[in-house]
Amino acid sequence: MSEEFDVPDELGFTPAVPDASTDRDDAAPRRPKRRRPGLRRRIAATAVIVGALATMGGAYTLFAGSSGASDSNTPAEMAAKGRQLYETSCITCHGANLQGVPGRGVPLLGVGGAAVYFQVSTGRMPATGQAAEMTRKPAKFDDQQIRELAAFVQSMGGGIDIPTGTLRATTDLGKGGDLFRLNCASCHGMTFKGAPLSAGKAAPSLNEATDLQIYTAMLTGPENMPVFSNNQITPQEKREIVGYIQTIKASQDPGGHGIDRIGPVSEAIVIWVAGVGAIMIIILWIGAKTE
């Protein structure tokens, strides 16, 4: 007797399992037996939906939190974190006080957050050496870190900061096209492929550039590109140029080059659609199993 009791107790079993099989299967009428899987199925399906929605919500929060400016960080906190990144990755060429280092790097006082965003997000900075021309490379820092570096440089010398709000206007593509032909096409080409310039330099392709990179390129005029100040090209005209470039690019490239090309909002939609699809499959599977 005592042995029989000890063994299931140690294993964490309760004697309910053999009891239920003998009692309920024989004694209980048929109706409750049919209802139970239905109820269980409904509870399981609800649990799966709640679980999946929670997971998707979590994934979306993570995703949304990793891009864009963070609300939880004040400019001073951002700048303090940016200083640390600067001291490990930029100081050897640009100097402890952003004064520049002769033969290595130009002064960064007053270049502003927009220039840092453009240079670091396109992988031009941190430079690896004295290349004649800085070219686009995969970025070394994520979006948050780039904004921290920008906040630090901005806090030290001021200048043009990273633009916020809507950067793309698509209501008047004709106007955007005219502005592009007038101001950009001579160097970047009508199809955004880029073109050689004098002295062995070249204007790069615009195919990889994001809205913010196009906008900050215009604001800061990297290397041989002229600066297009807000007096020359108003913010609204800049948005129209961005809208034109991005819309024509999208129409030239209907197959797509992976979801990194279509931007955060579309990526969120892709995650959402995939999540709903997964829920449908799980519900169908539970249904098939319990029938």
Q: Are 169 and 242 in contact (CB under 8 A)?
A: yes
56 binds ligand HEC (CB under 6 A): no
Q: Cβ closer to ligand HEC: 56 or 180?
A: 180
- Minimum separation from the CB atom of position 143 to ligand HEC (A): 14
Q: Are 240 and 176 in contact (CB under 8 A)?
A: yes
What's the gap between Cα 288 and its chain centre?
38
Beta-bridged to residue 275, according to DSSP, are none
- Minimum separation from the CB atom of position 90 to ligand HEC (A): 3
- Minimum separation from the CB atom of position 101 to ligand HEC (A): 8
DSSP-assigned letters across all residues of 136-164: ----SS-HHHHHHHHHHHHHHH--PPPP-
For residue 196, give the H/E element and its range. strand 195-196
> Contact letters (x/-) for ligand HEC, 131-150, by CB under 6 A?
--xx-x------------x-
- Minimum separation from the CB atom of position 178 to ligand HEC (A): 12
Q: Are 193 and 204 in contact (CB under 8 A)?
A: no
Q: Which of 206, 212, 219, 248 binds ligand HEC (CB under 6 A)?
A: 206
Q: Cβ closer to ligand HEC: 56 or 82?
A: 82
214 binds ligand HEC (CB under 6 A): yes
> Contact letters (x/-) for ligand HEC, 100-129, by CB under 6 A?
----xxx-x--x---xx--xx-x-xxxx-x
23 binds ligand HEC (CB under 6 A): no
- Residue 196 phi, psi (nearest 5): -70, 145
Q: Which of 56, 78, 93, 160 binds ligand HEC (CB under 6 A)?
A: 93
Which tokens in the block code for residue 249? 């690019």
222 binds ligand HEC (CB under 6 A): yes
> Contact letters (x/-) for ligand HEC, 156-185, by CB under 6 A?
---------------------------xx-
Q: Which of 160, 228, 239, 240 binds ligand HEC (CB under 6 A)?
A: 228
Please name the residues in contact with 151: beta carbons below 8 A apart, sequence gap of 6 or more: 75, 78, 79, 82, 113
For CA atoms 89, 71, 273, 38, the dihedral sign is positive
DSSP label at 226?
Answer: P
Please name the residues in contact with 108: beta carbons below 8 A apart, sequence gap of 6 or more: 90, 94, 98, 100, 115, 116, 153, 156, 157
> Contact letters (x/-) for ligand HEC, 185-204, by CB under 6 A?
-xxx------------x-xx
What CA–CA distance (Å, rounded) separates 281 from 75?
Answer: 45
Q: Cβ closer to ligand HEC: 202 or 278?
A: 202
* Interface residues toward ligand HEC, by CB under 6 A: 89-90, 92-94, 104-106, 108, 111, 115-116, 119-120, 122, 124-127, 129, 133-134, 136, 149, 183-184, 186-188, 201, 203-204, 206, 208-209, 213-214, 217-218, 220, 222-226, 228, 241
